[in-house]
Each structure stands twice: as C-alpha cells, then as structure tokens.
Structure 1
C-alpha cells in the first residue's frame, strides 16, 4: 500500500480525467469509483475515483469549481527516450492542453506536468559547469525537450 497518494480536485471532470490518464500511461488501471448516493442532487455522478498510473496511486474528486490547479504543483514524468517524451507531451497537450516552457505543460484539465528525459538532469548536474550552462541555455529555448539538441549543446 502506498503511504502518500496525490489527490486531485476537479470541478466535475474526475472520471474523464482518470480515464484519460489511464489511457496514456502503461501499467495503469482504475481502482475504484464512488458515486453520489441515491437522493443526492448529484445522484449517480462520480464523487471520488481512485486510479493507478504506472504503479503510482492517485485519487480524483469532483469537488466543484472553488479550486483550480496551478503550476505551484506539477507531476513529473521521467522519460528514457525521445519517443517517450513525444508520446507523453503529445497525449497530455492534446485535446486542449497547453505547451509550456522547459518541459512543462498543462493538460486539458489544467493539471501541470513536466515531461523530463533522464538526460536533462544528468547534463544539468555535470561537474563541467560550462557544459551544464550550455544545456541550460538550450533548455530555456524549448517547450518539449529535444534530447538530441541538449546533447549537442553539452558537446559545445
């Protein structure tokens, strides 16, 4: 059992978001859906949904419009290849999402994500600070990270 679970507050799109995310990540599944009980104004609609994305559990609540997602909290995806970066970037920005800068994006529900190839933090932490600086400069010009371009920047 996972000790800490990310809990996402949606207006009324919890089920749609859960199904969208489960369709994007391998090894993912819906765990449970709790619906409003009979007699409630929202009878039959989703109250809370639990799901797993690549082994990590999440919960989604239809809590109403009081709260919105901000970039102050994001979900980071570690990627091994450019194909993985492209897959997650395209799926999460598709259908109304917004590309951001330096690996960040917002999906169509307003949730902020970072799609990060494993090469990026390694190159940014390189002991050769000039190399790391070139990588940082290249990254600052990008939305979706281009692995070949950051590796070229590292080489000078």
Structure 2
C-alpha cells in the first residue's frame, strides 16, 4: 500500500506552522523545504512546501494561498496517555487559538485537534449503558477533557 501523507494547506504560514508543531511534539523534525521559483505564482524564494514529521508521522505543509482554510470537518486526534499529556498538548496547541467542546480545539493556524485519552472510547462504549451515558454527559459539558471528572461521573450511581 502506498504511504499516505496528510497535506495541510496554509496561506503563507506553512513553515512557521511546521516549526511550531515540531516544537510541541517529541521526536519531530522538518525533513525538506521547497521554494517557489521564477515560474511563480508566488515570488521566487518564498516557501512552497514543508515536509515534516511529528513523532514519525509524515505531513506536508503547502503555502497554497488564501483560497482554502481549515474547517472542523477534519481534525488531528492526539491519543494521550494520561491527564498530564492532555494538559500539555491542550496548553501548547490552544495558545493563540480557540478552545472548543469535548476536547476539540483550533490552534493559532486554524487547524482542529482532538486531545483525549485512548481509554475515552472504553468509557463511552461501556456495556453498562448508565455508566456510558453519565460519561458522555460529563464529556459534553467540558472543553479540555478532565479524565478524572469523567470517570467520577461514570461511576456515580
């Protein structure tokens, strides 16, 4: 199967965004930068694409212009190990951006992220429907996910 690389469209901030994301995620790096040349459509020497990795996952940022912007129709999910990781990524990625409901946020570039733990699926799909409903209600009332509060709500009788 061919490798799938998400391509993120920016106006002009592709390199800045890639550098920011690489500073947030461990084991991350910029692999390659390409530039517009005399053929245009942007001035020669300005950044066209940035190939980068976030902890081994490859991405490409393209400075395609203002025609397209990010929407919540696509987001990047961060499956955090625990509340400390949720707190870290939430603080870093929401700074200068916008907090949303249920662990969703938009970063300062407008890209949507979901910041939660992998065990959220277990709580929301608990075979005990009362427990699952209580967990869901608790999550729906949050912006940043608070795992302890969701567990406490789920465990209330």
Residue 48 of structure 1 aligns to a residue in which SS?
Answer: strand
Residue 44 of structure 1, CA deviation: 1.4
1:42 and 1:61 map into 2 onto residues whose CA distance is 15
2:107 and 2:37 map into 1 onto residues whose CA distance is 30
Gapped regions of structure 1 (runs ≥ 5): none
1:51 is the counterpart of 2:49? no
Q: Does structure 2 retain, via aligned residues, the 8 Å contact 1:52–1:58?
A: yes
Q: Does structure 2 retain, via aligned residues, the 8 Å contact 1:119–1:147?
A: no
2:77 and 2:115 map into 1 onto residues whose CA distance is 6
1:117 is the counterpart of 2:117? yes
1:99 and 1:81 map into 2 onto residues whose CA distance is 19
Counterpart in 2 of 1:89? 90
Residue 138 of structure 1 aligns to a residue in which SS?
Answer: helix
Q: How does 1:134-145 map to 2 (within 5 A)?
A: 134-145=134-145
TM-score (structure 1 length as normaliser) = 0.95
2:70 and 2:97 map into 1 onto residues whose CA distance is 13
RMSD: 1.4
Residue 4 of structure 2 aligns to a residue in which SS?
Answer: coil
Counterpart in 1 of 2:13? 13
1:155 and 1:82 map into 2 onto residues whose CA distance is 18
Residue 38 of structure 1, CA deviation: 4.8
1:60 and 1:146 map into 2 onto residues whose CA distance is 31
Residue 45 of structure 1, CA deviation: 1.2
2:100 and 2:2 map into 1 onto residues whose CA distance is 30
Residue 117 of structure 1, CA deviation: 1.3
Residue 119 of structure 1, CA deviation: 2.5
Gapped regions of structure 2 (runs ≥ 5): none
1:124 and 1:42 map into 2 onto residues whose CA distance is 50
With over 3 angstroms needed to count, the CA separation of the structure-2 counterparts of 1:131 and 1:90, relative to structure 1, is same
1:23 and 1:3 map into 2 onto residues whose CA distance is 24
Q: Does structure 2 retain, via aligned residues, the 8 Å contact 1:15–1:46?
A: yes
